[in-house]
Amino acid sequence: MTSTAYLSLGSNLDDRLLYLREAVQLLHGDQHIEVSDISSLYETDPVGYTNQGNFLNIVVELKTTYTAEQLLSVCQSIENTLGRKRVIRWGPRTVDLDILLFNHENIETDDLSVPHPRMHERAFVIIPLVEIEPNIQLPTSGQSFNEILERIPDKEGVRLWKRKNGEDVFEHLES
């Protein structure tokens, strides 16, 4: 069975675009994953621990034959491959991959909560998500992400950094 998932990717260390590009390439290079859409790139003020550099954030849509748990394990392995350091909780990271949505499923295990429990309050997630998929709804409440976007604070902390152009899914990640 093929599932549709949305992931949030963020980087705020070293060459941020390179880390995002490599993470997307590693996802797409997996034989069970096809990256089917990528949002524009956004530069975003840090949320949570604010004494750190700005992030580059994107949201990607993918088709996968993995389960959500298997996809989580792939995401963690990509974070490790790209050298994510967890020196400070919520602090700077080479790359972070979070599963936002997996089909319309509600998943609650020891390791995984889907929909991502904080996604509806994070403009750096909702703005790129609505850009690539304006019509989806939050499975838990049925609320549309467009409605969530209208009410979300701190939208000015999310600035377009490189616009997605054209049909080629990967083009705007090239430097």
Binding site for ligand GSY (CB under 6 A): 10, 44-48, 55, 57, 90, 96, 98, 124
Nearer of residues 46 and 115 to ligand GSY, judged by Cβ: 46
Q: Got the DSSP string for 90-122? A: T---S-EEEEEEETT--EE-SS-EES-TTGGG-
For residue 154, the minimal CB distance to ligand GSY (Å) is 9
User: What is the DSSP secondary structure assignment for residue 156, as one 8-state letter?
Assistant: G
Nearer to ligand GSY, 9 or 35 (CB): 9
From the CB of 2, what's the least distance to ligand GSY, in Å?
26
Other Cβ atoms less than 10 A from the Cβ of 22: the count is 18
Nearer to ligand GSY, 122 or 164 (CB): 122
DSSP at 173: G
Q: Which residues are catalytic?
A: 84, 93, 96, 98
Question: Minimum Å distance from CB 125 to ligand GSY?
Answer: 8
Minimum CB distance to ligand GSY smaller for 34 or for 149: 149
Residue 140 neighbours by CB under 8 Å, 6+ apart = 106, 115
- Closest-approach residue to ligand GSY (CB): 10
Closest CA to 162 of 153, 154, 171, 151: 171
Q: What is the rounded CA–CA span in Å between residue 123 and residue 148?
A: 9
CB 67 within 8 A of CB 111: no
Instruction: In angstroms, give the least distance from the CB of 124 to ligand GSY.
Output: 4
